[in-house]
Chain A
Amino acid sequence: MKKKFAIEHSGQVLQKAYHGTSKETARKILKEKKFVPTRDARSYLGDGVYFYEHSRWLAANWAEKCLGKGACIGIICACIDYGYCLNLDIPEHRQIIRRVKDLISIRDLQAKKLDRVTDSFVINYYSTNIAKNIDTVRLTYMSDDYKKMMFPGSLISDYRQPMVCVRKQDKISKICIAFEGSDYHE
């Protein structure tokens, strides 16, 4: 019998998500309809393909940051079915990840082999071993400069970056190139 997992289906679809990369890679992705997932400790939402929700500008910024100003970038636009989504904007979901981290640390006390437990590792642990049905992980990232507001007197942080990390690529559809070139302007 198929195991039923506790996390609920989101029932939501994001029509426009953006992935920034080089022009060549963007064309390759379009041709092959396949992404190379990011897998390293810096990817704080765990292994998967990273998109910015709604914002082409954030994706362009990211690509320029990685490739250098003036580099030829490509921005992929795609539709994402959130499916079973670990939504870290929801406090309860963050609480689950915190609990997983605590239990990993307790279990590791004897062996003391884990010298560094990252967000990425804990999310991967939870999604790979426990809630195996997780399709996507989302979070509105607040950068280090999150205290900078939209304008003087504003209460709204100007550094909110809504992101989604897609663990299962069958949740990505309608892939197209939204921009390619070296001089991005919104």
Chain B
Amino acid sequence: MNSSYKRMLEEVNTYFDNLTDEEFICDIERAGYSFYKDISVALLSPVVTVYSQYKSDHSLKVKNIDKIFLTYLNVELNQRSDQYEYCLAA
């Protein structure tokens, strides 16, 4: 096994060995996986509230609804960080 590959493999194995469940969830979200599939849209509001499947106590409030393609919501949220805010669900 070449040494570079061996180091890369060790790095990956060690990373997962030391990973807590909370960190794993954060990692997944950082990698762009969208858990925001249960979408509640208030039609009269300029803000869309998106509830996370994964973290039940979190939701996103998304502004500028016309610019959001819900299919790729995670994409849009990542790209337009100025247009959304994290908040705790009421």
Contact = CB atoms under 8 A, between A and B. Distances in A.
Interface of A: 5-8, 36-37, 39-40, 47, 92-93, 95-96, 99-100, 103-104, 107, 111, 113-114, 120-121, 124-126, 128-131
Interface in B21-53: 21, 24, 27-28, 30-33, 35, 53
Interface of B: 2, 4-5, 7-13, 15-16, 19, 21, 24, 27-28, 30-33, 35, 53-54, 72, 74-75, 78-79
Contact of B12 (A37, A99, A111): A99
A6 B7 contact: yes
B9 to A, nearest CB: 6
B78 A39 contact: yes
A105 to B, nearest CB: 11
Q: Is the interface of A mostly helix, strand, loop or mixed?
A: helix
B4 A6 contact: yes
A70 to B, nearest CB: 25
A7 B32 contact: no
A114 B28 contact: yes
Nearest to A130: B15
B16 A36 contact: no
A135 to B, nearest CB: 15
